[in-house]
Structure 1
Amino acid sequence: MKELKVGVLQQHNTSDIADNKRRLAEGVRALAADGAQLVVLQELHNSLYFCQVEDVDNFDLAEPIPGPSTEYFGQLARELGVVIVTSLFERRAPGLYHNTAVVIERDGSIAGTYRKMHIPDDPAYYEKFYFTPGDMGFHPIDTSVGRLGVMVCWDQWYPEGARLMALQGAELLIYPTAIGYAASDSADEQQRQREAWTTVQRGHAVANGLPVVAVNRVGFEPDPSGQTPGIEFWGSTFVAGPQGELLYRAPADGEERRIVDLDLGHSEQVRRWWPFLRDRRIDEYGDITRRYIDR
């Protein structure tokens, strides 16, 4: 039995970056005081979700890694003795930027990074304008609390990434997220999308016999251009066990912080019951690397 206390922090952001970071730190401190060993933050947690518009001035939000935010959260991790999963707008070089998760070890050092691999490009989610697709592959990050399979938002719809993390010994799949409703969709359609988002990730848990942690931002953020009504981020941060069971789900309409107890050792038992890795037909999967199979 390997127990891990995972803290999740679902927050509404404003244009005040300093205040966003202050409130994040306040939440991390509260979770650590309650015993959290690992704290997961939402995607691009320092600022508003700037990808609603294509504006070159937004590149000023990017920062190097290591840089100011890794120092800020590193100091926090060191002070509290917790591992923190952060999500930053990385300035790799002039004109080269990534959407990057950085895992901070409890001594304040950088345990590892992951650059978002799948980059969406939809109305109000113009991420291809800002982010170069990741070039680091899907590799878990070793930490003092376990081997973490960290990916970011749009990656969560793709089973291939989750599988590759699992095949390299990830003990936990983690997805910092920023996703919400389109105001033009009906209420029923909005709920179908939210439930699909939850269901596909629970499927990753089942298919790989691993817990999943998905932390989403929450609240309304206006479109600076006025071309769309803005985004209502649907929160619903959740933790699922290795059989897809929902261990916790946050509300869709409010800030939340919570600690969820995970038994990482339970994955071993689940994989004995459902030996999917044993029965994979790896000799027949070559075509999976093709874009589409024309017959």
Structure 2
Amino acid sequence: MAAVAAEFGRDLEEDFTIVERLIKQAQAEGVRLLALPEACLGGYLLSLDDDAEHDEGPPALALDGPEIRRLTALAGDMVVIAGYCEAEGTRRYNSVVCVNGDGVLGNHRKVHQPLGEDASYSSGDRFHAFDTPLGRLGMMICYDKAFPESARALALDGAEIGVCVSAWPGSRTGASPDLAQDRWKRRFDLFDRARALENQIVWLSANQSGTFGTLRFVASAKVVDPGGDILADTGVGAGVAIAEIDVTRALETARRAMGHLRDRRPDAYPPLSHAAGAVPA
């Protein structure tokens, strides 16, 4: 399996050229599951500031439209995951789709929206896992992974593999000139390892690289095993993190003695519908 760090923009034809190259590269390496970044079809937002100059945003694509069908044709017998702006009526969603040559296997709309992103997208409202030829899989987008409930919901729905696609930038304040030392990059990596370990699942993390508008992305695509160990990582540059892993065996090994899902005690946990310190409506 492989996770990509690459740079994508508004030009769909150029994006598809990059996607086709990455798919062919992955096929040559024997990859069966390929995760591409958030917004790889049409680019992300130019800025996350509320007062930023108006951004028309990426082109909105229908889940059953020609662009997604084009992606399925490119995927062939490989499972490919890619981020895009989804159109449904007048609404726009920051979405990620999972396909193979047979068609769409799953789709997720980003639930958690950081900073000014809600000015451009409507929010999704659920997390769910689905079956693929490679096992049961769950998806999330970028800021979703900052909330442990997101990955836990997928794991409780039977996900063996978690995939998070991102357009995760470096810090907005006090930015480090060295991306490898950036505090938002450090958080990106911590969330990846924690979500894999606490749920004892295989984890793929894809991310944009380079710059777009005011944003400088931390890349850092990776594959993480169910013990929270990084098996492959691109670092802060563009690249493809590839790892070979027997998912069933990896999960069995990780959960043999201490099963984090098995040993849960839901009866001991307080309701979590309200944030700490928040006043219920």
Aligned residues of 1:105 and 1:143 also touching (Cα < 8 A):
no
Aligned residues of 1:103 and 1:113 also touching (Cα < 8 A):
yes
Q: Where does residue 243 of structure 1 map in the other structure?
A: 227
Structure 2 gap ranges (5+): none
Give, in whole Å, the separation in 1 of the partners of 2:138 and 2:6. Answer: 22
Task: State the shift of 1:183 in Å.
Answer: 5.8
Task: State the shift of 1:55 in Å.
Answer: 3.1
Q: Where does residue 82 of structure 2 map in the other structure?
A: 86
Partner letter of residue 88 of structure 2?
R
Task: State the shift of 1:8 in Å.
Answer: 2.1
SS in 2 for 1:216: strand
CA change 1:164–1:30 in 2 (3 A) is same
Give, in whole Å, the separation in 2 of the partners of 1:57 and 1:191. Answer: 29
From 112, 118, 122, the counterpart of 1:132: 122
Identity %: 27
Give, in whole Å, the separation in 2 of the partners of 1:151 and 1:219. Answer: 22
Alpha-carbon displacement from aligned partner over 1:176-195 (angstroms, at most 9, x marks no partner): 10011246424289622211
Aligned residues of 1:9 and 1:256 also touching (Cα < 8 A):
yes
Give the length in aligned residue pairs: 272
SS in 2 for 1:287: coil
CA change 1:14–1:132 in 2 (3 A) is closer
Task: State the shift of 1:42 in Å.
Answer: 0.1
Partner letter of residue 191 of structure 2?
V
Q: Where does residue 21 of structure 1 map in the other structure?
A: 16
Q: Where does residue 71 of structure 1 map in the other structure?
A: 69
Q: Where does residue 154 of structure 2 map in the other structure?
A: 165
Give, in whole Å, the separation in 1 of the partners of 2:149 and 2:132. Answer: 23
CA change 1:116–1:14 in 2 (3 A) is closer
Give, in whole Å, the separation in 2 of the partners of 1:117 and 1:140. Answer: 15
Q: Is residue 2:114 matched to residue 1:120?
A: yes
SS in 2 for 1:288: coil
Give, in whole Å, the separation in 1 of the partners of 2:172 and 2:23. Answer: 32
CA change 1:15–1:138 in 2 (3 A) is closer
CA change 1:196–1:244 in 2 (3 A) is same
Partner letter of residue 122 of structure 2?
T
Partner letter of residue 212 of structure 1?
W
Give the ranges of 4+ consecutive aligned residues of structure 1 lying more than 4 Å apart after TM superposition: none
Task: State the shift of 1:54 in Å.
Answer: 6.0
Alpha-carbon displacement from aligned partner over 1:52-81 (angstroms, at most 9, x marks no partner): 14636336x112111132111011123xx1
Task: State the shift of 1:257 in Å.
Answer: 2.2
Give, in whole Å, the separation in 2 of the partners of 1:186 and 1:151. Answer: 26
Give, in whole Å, the separation in 2 of the partners of 1:54 and 1:291. Answer: 32
Q: Name the TM-score, length of structure 2 as normaliser.
A: 0.90
Aligned residues of 1:31 and 1:258 also touching (Cα < 8 A):
no
Alpha-carbon displacement from aligned partner over 1:9-59 (angstroms, at most 9, x marks no partner): 221124433112111111111101221111111000023322514636336
Alpha-carbon displacement from aligned partner over 1:203-255 (angstroms, at most 9, x marks no partner): 11111111111101100223xxxxxxx221111111111010010110213x2
Task: State the shift of 1:157 in Å.
Answer: 0.7
Give, in whole Å, the separation in 2 of the partners of 1:102 and 1:44. Answer: 11
Q: Where does residue 257 of structure 1 map in the other structure?
A: 240
Task: State the shift of 1:278 in Å.
Answer: 2.7
Aligned residues of 1:51 and 1:127 also touching (Cα < 8 A):
no
SS in 2 for 1:35: coil
Partner letter of residue 264 of structure 1?
V
Partner letter of residue 269 of structure 1?
T
Q: Where does residue 110 of structure 1 map in the other structure?
A: 104
Partner letter of residue 159 of structure 1?
P
From 199, 202, 205, the counterpart of 1:208: 199
Q: Name the TM-score, length of structure 1 as normaliser.
A: 0.86
Alpha-carbon displacement from aligned partner over 1:97-117 (angstroms, at most 9, x marks no partner): 11111110342x111211111
Give, in whole Å, the separation in 1 of the partners of 2:68 and 2:242. Answer: 23
Give, in whole Å, the separation in 2 of the partners of 1:86 and 1:186. Answer: 28
Task: State the shift of 1:294 in Å.
Answer: 6.6
From 2, 6, 12, the counterpart of 1:11: 6
